[in-house]
Amino acid sequence: MSDTGTRLRPQILPKVARPRLHKVILLNDDFTPRDFVVMVLKAEFRLGADQARRVMITAHQKGACVVSVYPQDVAETKATRATDAGRAKGHPLTFTTEPEE
Ligand code: TYC
């Protein structure tokens, strides 16, 4: 087949902005049981047992830990659902979001 000449040359390819990803951040507190934090990380963020434990311990020791990154709407929904799961059991467990640099 002959070349139809419709292929865009690299220098005139349109630039498509990739939506910025947002981080979900787990905050430490003095009250939520460690096992509950691990359970929420596994259920809401689909982390394996080892990774969930590592994230929990990092937040416990450093004050906060990035859980994962997602498109903004997904990050906000997951942070809200995970925070609400703690509130439903009377825990102050908190997840926040912020745009990735
Ligand atoms: N600091 C809590 C405790 O000692 C456990 C904990 C870890 C709570 C991480 C929140 O993001 C957190 N029971």
CA 8 to ligand 1 center in whole angstroms: 54
Task: Please state, in angstroms and rounded to a whole number, the distance separating the CA atoms of residues 96 and 94.
Answer: 7
**Is 97's C-beta closer than 6 angstroms to any atom of ligand 1?**
no
Under the banding of pLDDT at 50, 70 and 90, the label for residue 16 is: confident
Across the strands, what pairs with 94?
27
DSSP per-residue letters across the chain? ----S-SPPGGGPPP-PPPPEEEEEEEP-SSS-HHHHHHHHHHHH---HHHHHHHHHHHHHHSEEEEEEEEHHHHHHHHHHHHHHHHHTT---EEEEEE--
Name the pairing type of β-strands 21-27 and 94-99. Answer: antiparallel
CA 32 to ligand 1 center in whole angstroms: 5
Under the banding of pLDDT at 50, 70 and 90, the label for residue 1 is: very low
Under the banding of pLDDT at 50, 70 and 90, the label for residue 7 is: low
Q: pTM for this structure? A: 0.86
| All domains of the chain in start order, with CATH | 33-99 (3.30.1390.10)
